[in-house]
A = this chain, B = another copy of it.
Amino acid sequence: MNHNTLFTVQEATYELLRRLGLTTIFGNLGSTELPFLKNFPSDFQYVLALQEASAVAMADGFAQAAGTPALVNLHTFAGVGNGMGNISGAYMNKTPLIILGGNQTREMLVGDVYLTNVEETTLPKPWVKWSYQPVRAEDVPAAIMRAYAVALQPPAGPVFLSVPLDDWDKPALGSAVVRTVSTRVAPDPGRVKGFADKISSASNPVLIYGPDLEKAGGWDIGIRFAEKLQIPVLFSPFTERISFPVTHPQFQGSLPPAIGPLSKRLRGFDLAIVIGAQAFRYYPYVAGPYLPDGTELLQITADPNEAGTAFVGDSLLGDPQLALEALIDLVPDRPKRGWPSLRLPPLKISSDGEVLYADEAFSALDDSRPADTVLVTETTSNVTELLNAWGIAAPGS
């Protein structure tokens, strides 16, 4: 690239963001962010939020819906602080967010002047994969490239870059280097073989699908895998994504989010195969064994931390879709068999019409919604009723 005139860090950054496809910026800005935003390019879009928490939440939703990383622009100091709640949520969601936080001008940072983001790399911890302030203005584009590479690799998640306000107008080193990285890994073939053997020799296994199977693009292979094995499919507790059609005859409900009840639900199965989920995301503490006597557990996850935090079981590290693709040819076809209909709890009828029950509400919404409705719900306690009422049968829902 030939730069006849001064090529600034800001210009190099927009060029890089454009090449990375990061042209939508979610933010709530203040004075420390203005130098980044002046002469805002017309092919970029700035989605302004009224508070930083909302900026992060919108970016998280956008990235999940679009299946791409998203760029967030937060005000220095208390602004980054305001975003921390939803940054921790994005971390749990494994959403790749590149978060740029402003900071005062380098000239005055040693004196902790007004709007200094003191210990700027500490604040976002532990809820980002990487937290950094470039040690020179000219390293900002390279640091964004590194942030992008870190955010995308498995398990994906948010990263934080602090940029002093005077960096943007400094001369750039030139166009930023653009690099590409892997967004997924496959399981170790040797270990896949061991898992296949265990599945093949189990007499009464059960599949437990978690949110990361769908996120990995594993909806179709998940159905084929289940249909080949002809065994029940359950959802992991508190799954925020549906990885299997709830209308499929093999779908047999969600696991309860507590140690004792979950263990009770697995009685009679000699092997529980957890795919794309923590083992397990318990919520209330209810005592009991982690597994019933005679049940073993296998876990397939792309997240080493999920393998680390499992209470029981052996783990296979790798992308859930790739893992099922590697496994499916190594496990036997089992004969088709009949499935009990998943008995739904009867609709609660509010006798006097004064109390609106959750299932009534969901049914009414379901009757009138367009096919591509997006429902945003905060009512985790009614998810069972919601699944019953809406009968989700397509991925990404």
Q: Which residues of A contact B (CB under 8 A)?
A: 31, 51-53, 77-89, 104-115, 118-119, 121-123, 125-127, 130, 133-136, 139, 142-143, 146, 149-150, 153-154, 164, 166, 177, 179-189, 191, 237-238, 257, 259, 278, 280-285, 287, 290, 304-305, 307-319, 322
Q: How far is the CB of A378 from the nearest CB of chain B, in Å? A: 11
**Does the CB pair B86–A78 fall under 8 Å?**
yes
**Does the CB pair B312–A150 fall under 8 Å?**
no
- Contact among B82, B114, B186, B310 with A84 in the assembled complex (CB-CB below 8 Å): B82
Q: How far is the CB of A70 from the nearest CB of chain B, in Å? A: 18
* Closest partner residue, chain B, to A131 (CB atom): B119
**Known interface pairs A110-B135, A182-B191; 12 further A-B residue pairs with C-beta atoms within 8 A, sorted by A's residue number:** A81-B88, A82-B84, A84-B85, A111-B282, A118-B126, A119-B126, A130-B308, A182-B307, A182-B315, A183-B188, A186-B186, A188-B322
**Does the CB pair A182–B177 fall under 8 Å?**
no
Total identical chains:
4
Decide if the interface of chain A is mainly helix, strand, loop or mixed.
loop
Q: How far is the CB of A104 from the nearest CB of chain B, in Å? A: 8
Question: Which of A53, A153, A154, A308 has the most chain B CB atoms closer than 10 A to its own CB?
Answer: A308
- Contact among B51, B85, B130, B153 with A52 in the assembled complex (CB-CB below 8 Å): B85
Q: How far is the CA of A15 from the CA of B89 in the complex (A)?
A: 35
Q: How far is the CA of A238 from the CA of B146 in the complex (A)?
A: 23
Q: How far is the CB of A184 from the nearest CB of chain B, in Å? A: 5
* Closest partner residue, chain B, to A165 (CB atom): B285
Q: How far is the CB of A177 from the nearest CB of chain B, in Å? A: 5
Q: How far is the CA of A307 from the CA of B184 in the complex (A)?
A: 13
Q: How far is the CB of A334 from the nearest CB of chain B, in Å? A: 26
**Does the CB pair A153–B316 fall under 8 Å?**
no
Q: How far is the CA of A84 from the CA of B127 in the complex (A)?
A: 13
